[in-house]
Structure formats: structure tokens, C-alpha cells
Amino acid sequence: MAVAERLTIAVKRLLVLASAAVVTLLALPAPIHSVAWEPPRRPTLDGPLAPNQALRGADKLAAGQLVGPCDVVVDAVGRVLTGTLDGKIVRIAPNAPLEVLTETGGRPLGLALSPAGELLVADGMKGLLRVDGAGNIEVLAREAEGQPLNLASDVAVAKDGTIYLTDASDRHGWDEQLYELLEARPSGRVIRFDPITRVTTVIARDLYLANGLALAPDETFLLVSESGGYRVTKVWLTGERRNLSDRFVDNLPGLPDDLSFSPRGTLWLALSSARSAALDAAHPLPFVKDSYAGLPALLRPRTRAYGLVLELDREGRTLRSFHDEGGERFRDVSAVIEDRGALLFGTTTGSAVGSLPL
């Protein structure tokens, strides 16, 4: 058989296999009904975004004792608190055993300390919670304006005790975040909770997977990460634009997650995943996204392992970045704060809290 004939047969077989794969994909039931979205072209990783391995120099706190320590806060006596995938909220203190403060029975995502020192928790399965020093849990809110909190993601608190909360989706829960990302039908909300009246009020809506939340030091605005839109949005709390939104930074090199202000007034931003060329290419094609969502989890391509943290100035410009290409030591960074001259950060998939001296 001639070489050309063998090549022709091989090509035909590949076409048959490809056609069968497409038919199989299209035949799978789709759990979502996505819309077309044209993402901006990915930024080049140069200048302050140039890749490095700075995150590999971080220490691991409570190494091997945690499962997905998502957010981190530091209490008045210097203990690090974090919430884990198995529903625990733990305290990490130097030269002391790991302490389990409480178990929520859900997935604690965002954490914040109230002016009274109580821990406020955005639990992706249980809603807005308050935890006292003894570990007792009080449910503060499970809904806002009649709509359940499907995916409470992060929390911030003002000096007067007013609580702000993100709810990432009005359709999908904790284990369906991929669906919200693929659908490109923004339904995330920012919610205000009055601790006196116990009333919840939506102050921003139609956000693309509303995730991290940070209150400005002067409390005039909030910054909210829209993970599905690769951007951070400013929500005004005072003045003529109260409850209106502006873009703070757009076209980020990854999916923005939790964020926090530094003592200098700059912004620390964790990116839980690097941008995916395949996802960007699929976004304008709803039927491709719907078919992908119908695949069993084992057949879905894995995201690229990468760790990335940015520091932004007050105009949203990148000042510097900390990378772990390949995610060898830290990947999927979900939160970052600056405390006592070090960066502390959590991850959604890791087994330790990171601590990087600045």
C-alpha cells in the first residue's frame, strides 16, 4: 500500500473519531444554558507582571494539617484563622498545636473580624455566620431580598458593625462554580447586612461570579472581584454615586479571588487560576460550553497549576507580582493579606497557609 494511501486512511479514521467525539459531546445533557461572551485579549506577562518564582520562598504554616485553607485573617493576639474544605475553622499560633475553633458543617470561604473581635464567616453552603471566641455559631442571614444565598463568598465589616457580603450566584451553589463561570450570565450580588435591624439589602447585582470583597480604609467604597469577568469592580458606599459601580481594573491575567488593602493603601489581589486559552476560546461558543459542562468531572481538562499574587496601586495599576510557575509550592491562591511585614495567603487546594516575608 502506498504511503499516500495509508495517510489518507489514517486521516479518515481520525475524522471519524473526531466526528464521533463531537456527536457524543452534543448528545450529553447540558446542566447549563450559557451565552456567548467575548473575553478581552489576555495581557502579556511582562514588566511588573513578568513571571518569577517568588512564591516558592514562602513558608508553610500548619503544613499537611489543612485541606484547602481558603481565606486568612489574624486576630488581636497574632493567631492566624482559616476555614477549610472539611468545614472547620482553625487557629494557628506559633509553637502551639493546631486548634479547631468550630465546624460549620458547610464550606467556610470568606472571613473577617468584627470590631468586637467576633469572627464573621461567608460560608458557601450555610450563608452569613458569626462565631464567638468559644466557637459558638450564629446564623445571621441565609437570604437577601427574598433570594437565598446560594454561594456566600466573602465578607467585610465596617467600624460601626455594618457587614458586607458577596453572593457569587443566584443559580449555582458551592460545587457548581464552574457552571457559573461557563454560563457568562452574571448573577452575583453585593449585600449589606444591618446588625441592628437584621435587614439584608442588595447594593450591587449582575456581577460575574462575585467573589473577593475589600472595604476601603476610609469606608467610602468596596472593591469586589468578578472572577468570571477577569476584573475588579468598585462599589461606592457614599456620595452621589452611592450604590453605583465603576470599573477598578479590567483584563487581569487570571481569575481574581480575595483581595485586601495593605498598610500603605495599595491592594493585594490573589488570582485563584491563571487565564485559560481554551476557556477564552470557548466563551463565544455557547454550545461548546454547554457540552463541556455536561462532561463527567474526570473527563474535563485540568486547569494549569499556577500561583499568582498581585499588588496594585490606587488606580488599579500593577506594582509587582509574585508567581509560582507550575504551582510546585503554592497554587490556586485564593486569599492574601499583609500582616507584620509578611504576606499570608490561602489556597483552595493546598494543605498549608503560606507566609512570605516581604
- At 102-114, the pLDDT tens digits run 999 999 999 999 9
| pLDDT at res. 299 | 79
Mean pLDDT of the chain: 92
Q: Which residues pair with 356 in a beta bridge?
A: 343
| pLDDT at res. 1 | 52
pLDDT in tens, 82-94: 999 999 999 999 9
pLDDT band of residue 5 (cuts 50, 70, 90) is very low
Q: Which amino acid is at 85?
A: L
Q: Is the pLDDT of residue 298 over 90?
A: no
The CATH number, out of the four listed (3.90.79.10, 3.30.450.40, 2.120.10.30, 1.10.1200.10), of the domain defined by the range 52-357: 2.120.10.30
Over pLDDT 90: what percentage of the chain?
A: 85
- Sign of the alpha-carbon dihedral angle for 178, 168, 151, 132: positive
Mean pLDDT of 169-177: 90
Q: Exposed/middle/buried for 163, CB within 10 Å: 0-12, 13-18, 19+? A: buried
Q: Is the pLDDT of residue 7 over 50?
A: no
Q: Is the pLDDT of residue 131 over 90?
A: yes
Q: Is the pLDDT of residue 10 over 70?
A: no
Distance CA 54, CA 250 (A): 24
List the one residue out of 312, 319, 306, 307 whose CA is nearest residue 356. 307
| pLDDT at res. 340 | 93
Mean pLDDT of 152-159: 98
Mean pLDDT of 166-189: 93
Q: Is the pLDDT of residue 13 over 90?
A: no
Q: Give domain limits for the chain.
A: 52-357
List the one residue out of 78, 53, 71 whose CA is nearest residue 333. 71
| pLDDT at res. 300 | 79
Distance CA 296, CA 313 (A): 41
Element containing residue 20 per DSSP (H, E) = helix 3-27
pLDDT in tens, 223-266: 999 999 999 999 999 999 998 999 999 999 999 999 999 999 99
Q: Is the pLDDT of residue 267 over 50?
A: yes
pLDDT in tens, 26-81: 555 789 999 999 999 999 999 999 999 999 999 999 999 999 999 999 999 999 99
| pLDDT at res. 302 | 77
pLDDT band of residue 25 (cuts 50, 70, 90) is low
pLDDT in tens, 308-352: 999 999 999 999 999 999 999 999 999 999 999 999 999 999 999
